[in-house]
């Protein structure tokens, strides 16, 4: 089964906002599942409100990124997003949120890795 995911790329001052599920240890881009009847744009805004209690403005659509691992298959709808909080805090006890310097992203366990590489390529072009 293919899962539809909406992901936010939030860049600020040379850093990117990432979320970590404490039990697994790796970091990922904020967002989550697109619910039945919901657009990916609405899903990314809803997920950011639920996970981080922030308002979000989509500034660009980066496209779709396919990710497969251990029998899972997901299509990530990726958006550049601006949020209305300087230092968002996770609203869910199993999640942590934090800013990561782009220069350290190569050494950070971020999944899907292809999305992290896309963010780095974008930052290097600027």
pTM of the prediction? 0.93
Residues 29-75 pLDDT 10s: 999 999 999 999 999 999 999 999 999 999 999 999 999 888 889 99
pLDDT bucket at 124, cuts 50 / 70 / 90: confident
- The reported pLDDT for the residue numbered 123 is 85
- The reported pLDDT for the residue numbered 83 is 98
Q: What's the average model confidence in pLDDT over 1-25?
A: 95
Domain limits of the chain?
Answer: 2-125
Contact 10, 52 (CB under 8 A): no
For residue 54, what are its two tokens?
């922030």
Whole-number average pLDDT of the chain: 95
CATH number of 2-125: 3.90.79.10
The C-alpha angle 33, 80, 106, rounded to 5 degrees, equals 90
Q: What's the average model confidence in pLDDT over 79-87?
A: 96
Q: Is the pLDDT of residue 126 over 80?
A: no
Distance CA 35, CA 40 (A): 9
């Amino acid at each position: 089964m293919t899962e539809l995911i909406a992901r936010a790329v939030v860049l600020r001052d040379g850093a990117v906002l990432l979320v970590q599920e404490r039990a697994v240890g790796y970091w990922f881009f904020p967002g989550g599942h697109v619910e039945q009847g919901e657009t990916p744009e609405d899903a990314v805004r809803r997920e950011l409100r639920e996970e981080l209690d922030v308002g979000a403005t989509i500034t660009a659509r980066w496209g779709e990124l396919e990710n497969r691992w251990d029998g899972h298959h997901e299509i990530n709808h990726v958006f550049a997003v601006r949020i209305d909080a300087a230092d968002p805090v996770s609203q869910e006890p199993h999640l942590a949120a934090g800013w990561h310097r782009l220069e350290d992203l190569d050494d950070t366990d971020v999944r899907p890795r292809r999305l992290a590489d896309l963010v780095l390529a974008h930052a290097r072009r600027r």
